């Protein structure tokens, strides 16, 4: 399955408007059929720049935000990436097109199971999945070259920052108030953590696992 020409044109317009300029990011997103990753009732909106509900009080981010966060990671095909919050697997699939291996964690098992089916259908063999508490990261696989968090943290998560390799980058939405969240790019440089703001956003909150939902 591939993105149709009409949907590809819509996607490129959305990405340009969002400020996504890296050719490799655009190409990766063109290669992932977003309609596979949204509920069937919203398929006609798959390429609109809107956030869509996916159940379990979760959402799939709008394409523009996916593009901005992916671009901020500065990915190469040598990178080992941790994704906190698999969701439907859309961001996972985009990452898989750009890096060596993706380790992705999702606390809602039904969402993860559906995401795994989509990832298998697209024959993305460099993705490792795990059901669990993403706030703890994946210490058995640390350190990571890149970390992306797809839910908003109150502050830069120290546990996740501690799993960044020297020279690594983490991209995470930060903010207590849903109306005042910012995508932050965190760098581990010479053992020091630095941060820069990318743009304002709205995300569901990053919360520890509290059992089955």
Identify whether 42 is preceded by a cis peptide bond (ω within 30 of 0): no
- Rounded to an integer, what distance in angstroms lies between the CA atom of residue 39 and that of residue 7? 17
Q: β-pairing, 101-106 with 80-84?
A: parallel
Which positions are catalytic? Answer: 61
Q: Distance of alpha carbon 73 from its chain centroid, rounded? A: 10
Pick from 148, 20, 54: nearest CA to 93:
148
């Amino acid at each position: 399955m591939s993105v149709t020409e009409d949907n590809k044109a819509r996607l490129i317009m959305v990405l340009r408007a969002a400020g996504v300029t890296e050719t490799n990011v655009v190409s990766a997103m063109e290669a992932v059929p977003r309609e596979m990753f949204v509920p069937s009732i919203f398929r006609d909106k798959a390429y609109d720049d809107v956030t869509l509900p996916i159940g379990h009080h979760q959402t799939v981010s709008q394409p523009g935000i996916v593009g901005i966060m992916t671009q901020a990671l500065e990915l190469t095909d040598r990178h080992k990436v941790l994704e906190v919050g698999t969701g439907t697997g859309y961001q996972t699939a985009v990452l898989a097109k750009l890096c060596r291996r993706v380790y992705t964690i999702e606390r809602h098992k039904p969402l993860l199971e559906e995401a795994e089916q989509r990832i298998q259908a697209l024959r993305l063999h460099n993705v490792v999945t795990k059901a669990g508490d993403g706030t703890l990261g994946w210490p058995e696989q640390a350190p990571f070259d890149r970390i992306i968090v797809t839910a908003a943290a109150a502050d830069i998560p120290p546990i996740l920052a501690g799993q960044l390799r020297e020279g690594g980058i983490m991209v995470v939405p930060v903010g207590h108030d849903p109306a005042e969240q910012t995508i932050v790019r965190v760098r581990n440089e010479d053992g020091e953590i630095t941060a820069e703001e990318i743009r304002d956003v709205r995300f569901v909150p990053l919360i520890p696992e509290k059992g089955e939902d």
